[in-house]
Structure 1
Amino acid sequence: MMNTMFRKFHTFTPMFFGLFFLPNFVKVALPQDNFKNDFIESEFKQKEFDIIGNIEKSFEHIEWEPVLKKEGLIIQRKKLGKKSIFALKSTGILEAPIESIITLFRDTKRAYLWAPGLKQRTLLKNISELEAVVYDIHEMPWPCQDRDVVMFNSIKLLKSRKQIALISSSIENYKLDPRPGNKVRAELHYSFIGLTPISKNKTFVEFFIHVDPKGSIPKWLVNHIVKTRPYSFLKAIEKSASKTPANLGKDALKLVDLLRSILSNEKFISGSL
């Protein structure tokens, strides 16, 4: 029974690694005034900036602790301040085109086909092709309660990093939050996937995540179980994206084209970011 619980719990953190799914369908016409009533966009723009800043500059004095090196992927972790859950970092090369990886993340309807343990994903607000608010329910092993989370997801071109970044973080007190009483609300401090195409069918990935499942699960157990999960998650992306035809809208395609233009003028060296 304990082994079964461990196997199921292994899927929990990778679920949050796939939080960037954005709607891949025609934009629904909704009054912007209504949207502003329940979502203060400027606050989350600032939060995006803070996430990037934390990744680039915060806690530089703390060394990343090596966890795993396998099949070209490097997994590391570090404890951020007094927070007892480790932040995780992974870098490597995925055998899949950047366009297909972004297409995979945007396809909410088919996310369950490859995202481990994803029980339900609901689009709460389709802001644009590059931004959305979603609600996820993630299955947990008995006797743990399922976890849920509301997230703001965005896709950005970061010229200084030569990346298209898939950025996600939790939202609190969102007006459209279903908030069922039988779930434990997890906290996604940040999830950041930086993608850089290095050839037609290869993409360099730089992945950061810091998530707390909350509830009564001991923090030491969370840290022990999830420390190698980025490897499984990234390999799942690689497997699925390599079979996914590229299907990007004009806004996402524009970002990819701009990034390729930047890279054509500047030599990119993987691992140099």
Structure 2
Amino acid sequence: MKNFLITGLAMLFSLMSYAQTNWTLKHNKDGIQIYTKTIENSDYKGIKVKCSLPATLTEFTAVIMDVNTAGEWLYATKSSTLLKQVSPAEVYYYSEVGLPWPLSNRDFICHLTASQDPRTKVVTIDGPVVPDYMPAKDGIVRVTQSSGKWIITPAGPNMVNIEYTLEANPGGSLPAWLVNLFVTKGPMESFKKLKVQVDKPQYRKVQFAFIKNY
């Protein structure tokens, strides 16, 4: 039970922190590199994940924007539901992250926007939270400060380089020292499943007017 508790905490907060200092490589396995760094005015370690995947820019973007299926690959996601689709490049969604008893689950409302640099073809997906988009739920701690980013760089006709960073204040009272001991567990599990997710047939048919592939 203790190990499961530690893993759950590490998963949540390793996917919820980012800063502007030097990164230190902490884990490098199966083509997935995980970096950490100290965040100013925070007890939690920052995290950055880098990897390369056999996919087009469109296919990978389609996976991230397909928020209803995030639970299929994002570790410990209890639910992920589209709230509003403004356009193919902009969505709002609700997600609940499950933590083991006796901790309260966390939830957040995220505003995803995708864009492409017309010169470099690099696709950026920003994902700040909008905590007041819907009322908080009883028994669940609302994440009120978080801003994530995906940077998707073309590396060939069917290859992309991925860089993922995120910063957040998880809210509530949690032992940062314990979370930091296991900071690479959640990202590693998520990115292993992400490699499988992007290869699913439904994403090969997606087209976005705002993206030009390599």
| Range into which the TM-score falls when normalised by the shorter chain | 0.7 to 0.9
Cα contact 1:68–1:228 (8 A) shared by 2: no
1:1-273 matches, within 5 Å, as: 1-13=1-13, 59=20, 62-159=21-118, 162-174=121-133, 177-244=134-201, 245-249=203-207, 253-257=208-212, 260=214
Contact 2:15–2:47 (CA under 8 A) maintained in structure 1: no
Q: Is the 8 A contact 1:94 1:203 kept in 2?
A: yes
Bigger share in strand: 2
Structure scoring higher RCO (CA < 8 A, sep ≥ 6) equals: 2
Unaligned runs of 5+ in 1: 18-54, 261-273
CA distance in 2, matches of 1:64, 1:160: 28
Letter in 2 for 1:190: S
- In 1, the alpha carbon distance for the partners of 2:116 and 2:164 equals 15
Shift, 1:113, TM fit: 2.2
Report how many residues are paired: 213
TM-score by length of 2: 0.85
CA displacement at 1:146 relative to structure 2: 0.8
Distance 2:10 2:196 in 1: 19
Residues 211, 218 of structure 1: alpha-carbon distance in 2 compared, 3 angstrom cutoff: same
Alignment root-mean-square deviation, CA: 2.6
Partner Cα separation in structure 2 for residue 109 and residue 150 of structure 1: 13
Secondary structure at 2:161 match in 1:
strand
What is the TM-score when the length of structure 1 is the normalising length? 0.68
2:16/2:146 contact within 8 Å kept: no
Question: How far apart are 1:224 and its partner, in Å?
Answer: 2.2
Contact 2:78 2:97 in 1 (8 A): yes
Q: After the TM superposition, which parts of structure 1 deviate over 6 Å for at least 4 consecutive aligned residues?
A: 14-17
Contact in 2 for aligned 1:77/1:89 (Cα 8 Å):
yes
Consecutive unaligned residues of structure 2, counting only runs of 5 or more, are none
- In 1, the alpha carbon distance for the partners of 2:180 and 2:127 equals 21
Kindly indicate whether the alpha-carbon contact (under 8 Å) linking 2:14 and 2:46 is maintained by their aligned counterparts in 1: no
Deviation at 1:11, TM superposition (A): 4.2
Kept in 2: contact 1:15–1:116 (CA 8 A): no
- Give the distance between the partners of 2:182 and 2:169, measured in 1 at CA: 13
